[in-house]
């Protein structure tokens, strides 16, 4: 199809090559010297989006320095809190000193016997392998269509830079509450610790996301390579075709294959507040517009689509939390006690911590499904996964619907199963003896599962529509 006798392009005909709209690249990022890595890495926890591109552009030595500095803080503070030495949390010098001293003591105690050295080494290697796996998972999150090698390095370095974010964890240790003078808090220390842990998880995730939100690497990779203009319907090369003509292969108007034909949803153009207002309508559009993938720009306004996706995860988590709170309020007995055999009995645990925990799990699950889908497309399209990102982000509207309707119908099934009992046992040969309430719960699960399945089919259809997307 790469015609050897292509006529020279005129304003009326399509050229031989097109380039994609490139993402904003942070020009001339500062490379952080390794000696400055510790203070800069702490600063990055406060302003991840601003510093992220500069950290990604810095060398490996600086990234490892930040990583080891973070580990020192975790180790030192963790030890210090358990021994009760860490007194003044508001004195930065005391915090730094106790972190270093705690690590030195911990190392001294760990390294006196070879068995302990072996254990420490194994823990360290295991931790680094775990980080390697997480950095692979970040590929789908951070990619802008750069070359895989550049992407891999950026993900791994930014993850190393984020280590000081873990140092907050030991500060949440339950031991801390014993030192607190508030009696009420001491009684609730289990619930408060879990709540703080949940807040930490959400905060750390947002730091990771914001660290990679801007790109500062070289302009190399599929995103910057010229490509042949193709008919979006059948993939026929449109080089040399007139703009007002039709595709010689399938007859689709050439105009409908031009890059400008695709536009981001209105959600992308709206202001921050406007996006809030337009969010419900965008959800409806992503679900009900059959040709969403044919009109939606896939290379532009990715940030807006990411925001939509994160909004879906947050809303899904909130909906799940609300449903669990209602469930607990209705039956005066905790879901966790049912599932895990007892988590907390006091009101804070039942009405705040437990719903928050379930909400976080559901929100993270939605995030994982979206990212997993993107990873799969990256694997199968070798670095071109960035193209599918925008469509997948908007298609997560289906997940939100599945969670809301599925959760509500499950709650309804539970109410019915309890209101009109006792249910009889049924004898049916192929399955044996079973309780008929199980059928009611299965019926309650069906709407959520059905919507999930429909959503997958719909998303798959939309992704087929962008196979040859030009814009």
Binding positions for Zn ion, rule: CB under 5 A: 231, 233-234, 236, 247, 249-250, 252
Q: Pick the closer one to Zn ion by CB: 41 or 237.
A: 237
Rounded to a whole number of angstroms, the minimum distance from the CB of residue 467 to Zn ion is 12
Cα 210 from Cα 27, distance rounded (Å): 18
Q: Pick the closer one to Zn ion by CB: 231 or 366.
A: 231
Rounded to a whole number of angstroms, the minimum distance from the CB of residue 6 to Zn ion is 18
- Concatenate the DSSP letters of all residues of 222-247 into one string: GGGS-B--B-TTT--B-TT-BTTSB-
Q: Pick the closer one to Zn ion by CB: 233 or 354.
A: 233
Q: Pick the closer one to Zn ion by CB: 461 or 467.
A: 467
Cα 441 from Cα 204, distance rounded (Å): 36
Q: Pick the closer one to Zn ion by CB: 65 or 257.
A: 257
CB of 275 closer than 8 Å to CB of 448? no
User: Which residues lie across from 54 on neighbouring strands?
Assistant: none
| Bridge-based pairing state of the strands 425-428 and 432-435 | antiparallel
Rounded to a whole number of angstroms, the minimum distance from the CB of residue 65 to Zn ion is 54
3-state SS assignment for residue 428: strand
Rounded to a whole number of angstroms, the minimum distance from the CB of residue 465 to Zn ion is 13
Whether the link from the prior residue into 193 is cis, omega within 30° of 0, is no
Cα 197 from Cα 265, distance rounded (Å): 36
For residue 215, give the H/E element and its range. none
Rounded to a whole number of angstroms, the minimum distance from the CB of residue 248 to Zn ion is 8
Q: Pick the closer one to Zn ion by CB: 121 or 250.
A: 250
User: Which residues lie across from 435 on neighbouring strands?
Assistant: 425
3-state SS assignment for residue 18: strand
Rounded to a whole number of angstroms, the minimum distance from the CB of residue 16 to Zn ion is 17
CB of 467 closer than 8 Å to CB of 294? no
Q: Pick the closer one to Zn ion by CB: 252 or 461.
A: 252
HSE toward the beta carbon, residue 55, CA cutoff 13 A: 35
Q: Where are the beta strands (DSSP E) in 273-428?
A: 425-428
Token duo for residue 289 = 């517009």
3-state SS assignment for residue 332: coil
Q: Pick the closer one to Zn ion by CB: 105 or 234.
A: 234
Rounded to a whole number of angstroms, the minimum distance from the CB of residue 252 to Zn ion is 5
CB of 359 closer than 8 Å to CB of 320? yes
């Amino acid at each position: 199809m790469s015609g050897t006798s292509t006529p020279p392009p005129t304003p009326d005909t399509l050229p031989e090559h097109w380039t994609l709209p490139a993402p904003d690249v942070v020009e001339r990022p500062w490379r952080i010297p390794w000696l400055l890595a510790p203070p800069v890495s702490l600063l990055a926890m406060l302003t991840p989006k601003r510093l992220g591109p500069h950290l990604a552009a810095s060398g490996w030595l600086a990234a490892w320095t930040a990583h080891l500095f973070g580990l020192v803080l975790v180790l030192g503070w963790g030890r210090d809190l358990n021994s009760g030495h860490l007194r003044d949390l508001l004195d930065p010098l005391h915090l730094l000193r106790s972190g270093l001293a705690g690590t030195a003591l911990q190392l001294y105690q760990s390294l006196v016997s070879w068995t302990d050295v072996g254990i420490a080494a194994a823990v360290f290697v295991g931790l680094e392998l775990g980080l390697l796996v997480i950095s692979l998972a970040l590929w789908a999150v951070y990619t802008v269509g750069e070359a895989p090698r550049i992407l891999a390095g950026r993900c791994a370095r930014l993850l190393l830079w984020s280590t000081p974010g873990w140092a907050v964890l030991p500060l949440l240790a339950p031991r801390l509450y014993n030192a607190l003078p508030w009696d009420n808090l001491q009684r609730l220390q289990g619930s408060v610790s879990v709540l703080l842990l949940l807040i930490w998880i959400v905060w750390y995730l947002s730091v990771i996301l914001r660290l990679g939100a801007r790109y500062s690497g070289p302009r190399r990779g599929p995103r910057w390579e010229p490509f042949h203009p193709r008919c979006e319907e059948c993939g026929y090369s449109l080089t040399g075709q007139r703009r007002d003509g039709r595709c010689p292969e399938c007859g689709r108007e050439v105009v409908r294959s031009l890059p400008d034909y695709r536009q981001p949803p209105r959600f992308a153009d709206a202001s921050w507040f406007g996006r809030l207002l337009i969010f419900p309508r965008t959800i409806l559009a992503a679900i009900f517009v059959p040709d969403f993938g044919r009109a939606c720009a896939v290379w532009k306004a990715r940030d807006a689509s990411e925001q939509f996706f994160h909004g879906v995860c947050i809303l899904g988590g909130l909906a799940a939390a609300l449903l669990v709170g209602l469930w607990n309020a209705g039956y005066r007995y905790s879901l966790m006690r049912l599932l895990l055999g007892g988590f907390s009995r006091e009101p804070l645990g039942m009405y705040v911590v437990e719903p928050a925990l379930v909400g976080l799990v559901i929100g993270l699950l939605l995030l994982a499904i979206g990212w997993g889908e993107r990873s799969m497309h990256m694997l199968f399209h070798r670095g071109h996964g960035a193209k599918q990102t925008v469509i997948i982000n908007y298609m997560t509207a289906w997940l939100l619907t599945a969670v809301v309707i599925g959760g509500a119908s499950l709650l309804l099934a539970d109410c019915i199963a309890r209101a009109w009992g006792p249910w009889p046992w049924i004898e049916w040969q192929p399955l044996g003896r079973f309780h008929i309430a199980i059928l009611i719960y299965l019926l309650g699960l069906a709407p959520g599962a059905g919507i999930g399945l429909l959503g997958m089919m719909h998303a798959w259809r939309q992704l087929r529509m962008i196979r040859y997307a030009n814009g």
